[in-house]
Structure 1
Amino acid sequence: MISKSAYTEQELISSLKCNSREAFEYLYDHYASALYGIIMKIVKDEDKAADVMQDSFLKIWKNIGSYNVEKGTLFTWILNVARNTAIDRLRLDVKNEKSVSWDTVIESDLGNNVVFNPIPATIDIRAIVASLLPEKSVLIDLVYFQGYTHEEVSEKLSLPLGTVKSRIRKALNELREIFDVHSFTLRAA
């Protein structure tokens, strides 16, 4: 079979959707350098860029059937496939860098501060809520501990619904601040 030297975009799309090897080779020959340039700008490593390039063209080959002419040009679509593949690779690399094997952490690496993340069941949330102003703590108690709806609390306490919702929102913000400020950091003794 003789390879076609030029395709219109529509012919190329049709041939790719028919899994034409020649069309795919044409696509690679004409677009690989542009895609590689974009990939390199994202991953900044030649070996990784080569891997991403291969993964990108594999995704293009497998997913060409999902390409929709009405949503953009073929180049835009393959560029997005390559860009997203590169970003996924970058995220995976960052995630792998952040994961630490506990076998490699020694006690002296922890320093003088030890962060204590208590099990939620062991925190006395009711005591923390009780430290709020009574007008807020009562609302939190009724809604979150006793299961009342905002409307039911409004009727029970003869308060406007807007006031109930506003006070609950303010109370929740105060509770967030309490947890953020204290963050349960303990000094090692």
Structure 2
Amino acid sequence: MTPILEQHIVELIRQGDQRGMSLLYDHYGPALYGCALKLTKDKDASSDILQDALLKIWNNCNSYNADKAKFFTWCYGITRNTTIDYLRKVQKKQSKEIQLKDRDVYPIEDTINQDDKESLKRQISTLDTKYISVLDAVFYKGMTHMEAADYLDIPLGTFKTRMRAALIELRTINKGITVLIWILTIS
């Protein structure tokens, strides 16, 4: 593209003229789309990224400085950064989903038979309510200690202290259940 046409596109966009955006898309659109596609390898995502990048170019055109870079280079940088932001967001979302699927804490319903469950529920019901709530959060709802502390709105240290005290109290109520609780706490 000639420097004159490039300068004309910049002037039109700075004036808020839609023709500038049309020229920008016609002349740079395929290359900018290609930048996004190369990084994402996803046609739909690349189309969305191109749209976001063009909007950023439109909104920030006044910050473009011809002495620092050619207009295409500036547009390419915006598109590349928009693509990287998209990839980070997707990666973060996938990481959170993986954490929810691959938990190392499993609800009690998945680990013991019905008779043991009923026996444990009876014994837990004899405990103080603050102990019942921590045991319920971890063993019946399958929460991690951090999640349970947040859920119960108590500090993590307090949660762990209550958990330990609840387990000790259960052990004193019924020595036979000690093995079961020990297995559940290390799994």
TM-score range, shorter chain: 0.5 to 0.7
How many Å separate the matches in 1 of 2:12 and 2:99?
Answer: 52
Partner of 2:131: none
Matched residue count:
120
**Alignment match of 1:69 (pick from 66, 70, 74):** 66
CA 1:100–1:10 in 2, change beyond 3 Å: closer, same or farther?
Answer: closer
Q: Is 1:82–2:79 an aligned residue pair?
A: yes
Note the residue ranges of structure 2 that are not aligned, 5 or more in a row: 108-143, 147-155, 158-184
How many Å separate the matches in 2 of 1:103 and 1:83?
Answer: 31
How many Å separate the matches in 2 of 1:64 and 1:94?
Answer: 29
Q: Is 1:11–2:4 an aligned residue pair?
A: no
Give the percent of matched residue pairs that are identical in Structure 1 and Structure 2. Answer: 34
Q: Is 1:188–2:186 an aligned residue pair?
A: yes
How many Å separate the matches in 1 of 2:21 and 2:100?
Answer: 47
Partner of 1:133: none
Partner of 1:20: 17
1:93-132: CA deviations, max 9, x gaps?
Answer: 00000014877547359xxxxx999x69xxxxxxxxxxxx
Q: Is 1:40–2:45 an aligned residue pair?
A: no
Shift of 1:19: 1.3
Partner of 2:28: 31
Letter in 1 for 2:15: C
Partner of 2:90: 93
SS at match of 1:62: helix
SS at match of 1:72: coil
SS at match of 1:14: helix
Partner of 1:53: 50
Note the residue ranges of structure 1 that are not aligned, 5 or more in a row: 1-5, 110-114, 121-186
Q: TM-score scaled to structure 1, two decimals? A: 0.52
Q: TM-score scaled to structure 2, two decimals? A: 0.53
Higher relative contact order (CA 8 A, sep 6+): 1
How many Å separate the matches in 2 of 1:107 and 1:188?
Answer: 9
Shift of 1:11: 2.1
Shift of 1:38: 0.8
CA 1:106–1:116 in 2, change beyond 3 Å: closer, same or farther?
Answer: closer
